[in-house]
Amino acid sequence: MNIFTYFANPLRFQKLARIVWPISMLLSLILFGFGLNEALFTSPVDYQQGETVRIMYVHVPAAWWALALYSMMAIAALTAFVWKHTLADLFCNAAAPVGATLTAICLITGSLWGKPMWGAWWVWDARLTSMLILFFLYLGYIVLRNAFDDQHSDNGRGEKASQLLLIIGLINIPIIKFSVEWWNTLHQGETVFKKGGSALDPSMMPALFLMAGGTFFLCLSLILLRILTAIALKKLQNSQKV
């Protein structure tokens, strides 16, 4: 029995999650504390963007984890659709609002950066448009997942439809990733994980990765809390039926 199969059991997962989420939340607060100090006070001003560059420290981590979270949700949805894994479906349902919020933060901070840099709040750029589609995919999942009042009476049609949407929507992830290479776009190309080395000044790296780490642990905490709440509600519903 591998570790994933072992913790796929809801009872074992609950025990682990109750230990992990407060530690994860604490790590998030610590990393955000150091990250914000680096981002606002220590990190240098960019010679072209000026103080506007500081938006990057929120924008980029939000974009990274919005993409990563959707990819994880799509894999979990495939697991739930094929093997009827309850915990995988619970993960998708718990993670969707978190991913949608991250995508919204990415779009909003991108607009705040775009106005002084491009002279417009929004342009129908390939990267921006595909990111907007990601936001609608998150919202579409949430709507479909909750489209039926009684998940048991309709044979889980809401669950199945939302899982299929996640799986099909996975095609948008490489489009977002490579859009700046496939099309002529206003959005800048790869900066941090660039072939031949990062184009970002080394003095900006600590703030970026501290904020990315803080975002990761915050998302982990929120998702674990939502899963634990969903399991508790399911137990309560089952006890009321008896």
Query: What DSSP assignment string belongs to 170-212?
Result: TTHHHHHHHHHHHS--SS----TT-TTS--S-GGGHHHHHHHH
pLDDT at residue 7 in the model: 63
- Pick from 144, 64, 129: nearest CA to 96: 144
Which residue range(s) make up the domain with 119? 20-241
Confidence of residue 1 (pLDDT cuts 50, 70, 90): very low
Does 6 map to a domain?
no
Does 3 map to a domain?
no
pLDDT > 70 in the chain, percent: 90
Euclidean distance between CA atoms 190 and 61, whole angstroms: 14
Q: How many structural domains does the chain have?
A: 1
pLDDT > 90 in the chain, percent: 65
Name which of 41-45, 81-85, 192-196 the model is least confident about.
Answer: 192-196
Residues 93-126: tens digit of each pLDDT: 999 999 999 999 999 999 999 999 888 999 998 9
Residue predicted with more confidence, 101 or 182: 101
Does 9 map to a domain?
no
Rounded to the nearest 10 degrees, what angle do helices 56-83 and 86-118 cross at?
A: 150
Does 205 map to a domain?
yes
Euclidean distance between CA atoms 62 and 50, whole angstroms: 21
Above 70 in pLDDT, residue 6?
Answer: no
pLDDT at residue 110 in the model: 94
Q: The whole model's pTM is what? A: 0.91
The CATH number covering residue 100 comes to 1.20.120
Neighbours of 71 (CB within 10 A): 14
**Furthest-apart CA pair in the chain: how many Å?**
67
Does 231 map to a domain?
yes
Does 14 map to a domain?
no
Rounded to the nearest 10 degrees, what angle do helices 126-145 and 172-182 cross at?
A: 170
Confidence of residue 10 (pLDDT cuts 50, 70, 90): confident
Above 50 in pLDDT, residue 28?
Answer: yes
State in Å, rounded, how far the first CA of the chain is from the last one: 33
Alpha-carbon Rg for the chain, nearest whole angstrom, is: 20
Does 13 map to a domain?
no
Does 10 map to a domain?
no
For residues 208 and 200, the answer to whether their CB atoms sit within 8 Å is yes
Compute φ and ψ for 204, nearest 5 degrees.
-95, -15
Q: Which residue has the tokens 């000044």?
A: 201
Residues 31-70: tens digit of each pLDDT: 999 999 999 999 999 877 888 999 999 999 999 999 999 9
pLDDT at residue 224 in the model: 97
Bridge partners of 46?
50
According to DSSP H, which parts of the chain are helical? 3-7, 10-37, 56-83, 86-118, 126-145, 157-169, 172-182, 205-241
Euclidean distance between CA atoms 28 and 216, whole angstroms: 8
Angle, CA 11 vertex, CA 6 and CA 13 arms, to 5°: 55
